[in-house]
Amino acid sequence: MKVYCPYCKKEVDYKIEERQLKEFRGIEINTYENVAICKECNNDLYVDKIESDNNKRIYEIYRDKANIIKPQDIIELREKYNISQRELTSILGFGKMTINRYEKGGVPTKSQSDYIKLLIASNNEFIKKASEAYKNGSISQKTYEKIISKQENNKVSKEDIQDLYRKHIKEILNRKPDIYNGYTQLDLEKIENIISYIASKVKNLTITSLNKYLWYIDMLSFNQRSLGITGLTYQHEKFGPTIIEQEYNEISLLDDKYKREDYENENGTITKIVSNKNFDLSKLNENEIHIIDTIIKLLKDKTVTDISDMSHKEEGWKKTKRFERISFEYAMNLSMLKNNI
Ligand SMILES: [Zn+2]
């Protein structure tokens, strides 16, 4: 058998020497490894087959001695929650393809292995990790809900999920008061009550029109008082101003004060917001309630398309580009005021 020797710079014969290997990754393994040696210059040579045999032997002993998790255990963890390799990788916060490698026999470090074992042993730890991954955007809402639904005896309650939505919404939308939120601190409780109130007065409140109601309420408020009401930040989108980062989706999922109802029509799915009629306006002053009533009165008999067209006539929409945040300075010149109030 000949192999290329980089020292002799030619194909050479080699012999095999057995060397003791006491330790691997800090664990005593007391095995040996075979090393190919050039018969002409006595340097160590790399021979693929010999190295892979060494690795196989070393990893097997190491896995056993260090009590490293087996590929099958990882596969079973994924199957338990019905998640993909990529989803598990995201939850664990490991590098791309890590789980793929481990399931194919790659050997995790001792600390990674211990960590995965902990998550296998404790549902609560796993759910905690999954909820962190959901909150920082590493896994989707769909994945998170799938994991929760697989949870034995459903330790995560509906309230926990709602709280999680609220935490997520606040993390995205809670910003220092500035011209983009009408110099107003976000108040989610207030927002939920306002939405419930609007929905109680408006028959066909869709998510699209709700965005416009809230925007007009904040703009009118800023026009009159140099302050918003909700503390929300809005951006320019095709059908008019909307809450940034599509957080209106998350907000629509909060169901203490209102609920979502989906309807099918020829244009696809229409999502309506229906009030639970348990709103509490005690956090709002008379001025604010008057502003909200004014906008409701103005918009409630208009179709979504009319409301959308109306918002397209506003400077705040005309002078911004798609996905750009809409400054409250445009509240000083509302076309809606000239034509309607
Ligand atoms: Zn040589």
Task: Note the CATH number of domain 2-65.
Answer: 3.10.20
Expressed in angstroms and rounded, the spacing between residue 38 Cα and the centre of ligand 1 is: 5
Strand positions, DSSP E, the chain: 2-5, 10-24, 27-38, 44-45, 234-237, 240-243, 258-265, 268-275
| Pairwise CA distance, residues 9 & 315, whole Å | 76
In eight-state DSSP terms, residue 330 is: G
10 Cα distance to chain centroid: 56
Residue 341, pLDDT score:
53
Sequence-separated (6 or more) residues with CB below 8 Å from residue 247: 169, 172, 173
- CA separation (Å) from 136 to 1, 92, 93, 140, 262? 56, 13, 11, 10, 28
Strand positions, DSSP E, 149-267: 234-237, 240-243, 258-265
| Pairwise CA distance, residues 160 & 268, whole Å | 31
What confidence tier does 96 reach under pLDDT thresholds 50, 70, 90?
Answer: confident
Long-range contacts of the stretch 136-141 (C-beta < 8 A, 24+): 138/90, 138/91, 138/93, 139/87, 139/90, 139/91
Cβ–Cβ < 8 Å for 231, 194: no
Q: Report the half-sphere exposure of 337 (CA within 13 A, side-chain side).
A: 15
pLDDT digits (tens, 9 = 90+) for 248-278: 988 988 989 999 887 777 767 778 999 999 9
Percent of the chain with pLDDT over 70: 96
Expressed in angstroms and rounded, the spacing between residue 47 Cα and the centre of ligand 1 is: 13
Expressed in angstroms and rounded, the spacing between residue 32 Cα and the centre of ligand 1 is: 23
| Pairwise CA distance, residues 171 & 166, whole Å | 9
Residue 149, pLDDT score:
79
In eight-state DSSP terms, residue 177 is: S
Expressed in angstroms and rounded, the spacing between residue 16 Cα and the centre of ligand 1 is: 14
pLDDT digits (tens, 9 = 90+) for 206-263: 999 999 999 999 999 999 999 999 999 999 999 999 999 888 988 988 989 999 887 7
Expressed in angstroms and rounded, the spacing between residue 6 Cα and the centre of ligand 1 is: 7
What confidence tier does 156 reach under pLDDT thresholds 50, 70, 90?
Answer: low
Residue 243, pLDDT score:
96
Expressed in angstroms and rounded, the spacing between residue 1 Cα and the centre of ligand 1 is: 14
Expressed in angstroms and rounded, the spacing between residue 258 Cα and the centre of ligand 1 is: 79
Overall residue count recorded for the chain in this entry? 341
Expressed in angstroms and rounded, the spacing between residue 51 Cα and the centre of ligand 1 is: 18
Which residues pair with residue 261 across a beta bridge?
272
Q: Report the half-sphere exposure of 108 (CA within 13 A, side-chain side).
A: 25
Residues of the chain with CATH 3.10.20: 2-65
Cβ–Cβ < 8 Å for 307, 209: yes
For residue 251, give the nearest of 278, 230, 277, 222 by alpha carbon: 230
Q: What is the pTM of this model?
A: 0.59
177, two tokens: 């008061």
